[in-house]
Amino acid sequence: MKQKDTFRIITQAALSSDEWKVLGLLYQPLIGVLAFSLYHTFYHLLSQKNYQSEEFTNQFLLDLLNVKIDSLKEAKEKLEAINLLSTFKDQNKYVYQLKSPLTPRGFLKDTVLGQFLLSEIGPTMYKNLTNIFKVTPMDLTGYVESTKNFDDVFKFVSLDGPKDSSLYLGRKNNGGTKISEQIDYELFVESLPDRLKKKNVMDLKVQETIQKLVFIYQFTLDEMVKIYIDTVNDDGFIDASRLGLKASMYYQLKNKNAKPVVTNTVEPTSEDGFVKYLNEVSPIRILENYAKNDYQFMATDTVMQLLERNQVEVGIINALLLHILKHKNGELPHISYLEKVLETWVSRGVKTTKDAYTMILNNDGPARKKKNTFTEQKENSPEWVQAYLKQLEEKEED
C-alpha cells in the first residue's frame, strides 16, 4: 500500500439510519475512531447514482484524514477483519467493496463480535449499549384482538387456478430467477485442480451462481474455471457473493480497452419474436445496447442482484432493463428503484414476459426517443399502464 496507489469504491446499497447507529455504537468500540472514519469517508465518496466512486489516490485519502500511511493501512485492515470491507488488488490499483453492518440482533448474537465487544468494553458498558437496541413489547393485557379474517371482509366464489406456485411472480426467498444450464457443470468440476474438488463446489447455491454468471457475462467454461480458482480459498471454500464480485471485476478488466459492443440493436418486429428475444438474450446485451458506457460495468452487478433476489422469468428482467434504460436515457437507477417498478408490474398482473411486452414495452415503441410520442399506443393499454407511464415521465422532469 503506497501513497501513489489508486483506488475505487463500490457498494450495493445505501445505509439506513439504523445501520449507521449499529456502526457507531457497536462496531466503533471494536475498530476505533479512525477505522470508523475511514468507512464513513469511503461511503460518502460514492456516487449516489450508481454507488461507485471515481478513482482516487491514497495520497488524497491521507490528506483528507490527516493520517500517516501506516495508520491508514491499519484502519483498513480492521475493516477487513470485521467484514465491513473487501479489498481487491490489481498491481497498484485497488477496489474496495463496502459491506453493510449486521443488524443489532445479528451483531450481539454473533459468538465472535458480541463476545469480543463484551471483553473490550466490560459488562457495565455492554449492558448500557445493548439496552439502546432493546425493544420493549407493548403490554396488551386486557385487550381482546378484534382483527378481521379474510372471509369476514371479502366474499368471492373460488375458481380453479394454477396449482404450481412457481407460476406466480414476485420476491421469493428461494434463490431468485432460475437459469437454464449454460455450461456442463460436471466438465467444469473436472477442469478444476484436484485440491479444489471439494464438497463445497457441489453446493446447489454455488452451482446456480456459476450458471447465472456464465449467462450474464457470457463467459466460456475456461474463463469461469479461472475466476473460480482465483476466488476460492486454500481450504476449498467458495463465497458465492465474492465469486460474483470477482466475475464482475474480470468482466471489467476483459472489456476495459475494448470498443463498445452493440448487438441486436434492431429488436424483432413481431410480438412472438420479441418475447423469444427477451427470454433468450443475456441481460449484458441489453446493457451493451442501451446503457451509457460509464454505467455498463456497475449495471452488471445490479442485474446479478435482480436475478438473485427476484424469482421472475429472465425475460421479465430483460424487459425491465430495456424499459427503464429507454426512459432514463441509458442511466440505470439503483436496484431499489428497479424493484419498485417490478413490484408495480407484478401487482398489476404482469406474470410473464409476454405480459410485460404487451402491457409495457409495446407502449414504449421500438424507437421511442421523445416524450409524449406514444399517446396513440396508450389508448389500447390498461388504465394502470397509462397512469404508470405518466408517473415515469413526471419523474424524468423532476
Secondary structure class of 328 (helix, strand, coil): coil
Q: Which residue has the higher pLDDT, 100 or 168?
A: 100
CA distance 184 to 326: 35
Mean pLDDT to the nearest integer, 54-78: 93
For 159-193, the pLDDT digits (tens) are 454 444 443 444 444 445 666 788 888 899 899 88
Instruction: Assign 3-state DSSP to the chain and report helix, strand, coil percentages, each to 5.
Output: 55, 5, 35
Model confidence band, residue 361 (pLDDT cutoffs 50, 70, 90): confident
Query: Is 0.75 surpassed by the pTM of this model?
Result: no
DSSP state of 170: B
Burial 130-151 (b: 16+ CB within 10 A, else e): beebeeeeeeeeeeeeeeeeee
pLDDT(71) > 90: yes
Concatenate the DSSP letters of all residues of 308-326 into one string.
HH-B--HHHHHHHHHHHHH
**pLDDT score recorded for residue 394:** 59
Mean pLDDT to the nearest integer, 368-396: 51
Half-sphere exposure of 396 (CA within 13 A, CB side): 18
> Mean pLDDT, the chain, as a whole number?
78
CB-based contacts of 272, cutoff 8 Å, min separation 6: none
**pLDDT score recorded for residue 77:** 92
CA distance 241 to 247: 10
Q: Which residue has the higher pLDDT, 364 or 84?
A: 84
For 284-338, the pLDDT digits (tens) are 888 877 877 655 556 677 777 777 777 788 888 888 888 888 888 888 777 778 8
pLDDT(375) > 90: no
CA distance 378 to 385: 8
**pLDDT score recorded for residue 156:** 54
Q: Which of 272, 298, 289 is nearest to 326 (CA)?
A: 289
For 33-63, the pLDDT digits (tens) are 999 999 999 999 998 777 889 999 999 999 9
Structural domains of the chain sorted by starting position, each given as residue range(s) with its CATH number in brackets:
6-102 (1.10.10.10), 171-254 (no CATH), 271-397 (no CATH)
Mean pLDDT to the nearest integer, 255-261: 54
pLDDT(260) > 60: no
Q: Which residue has the higher pLDDT, 243 or 377?
A: 243
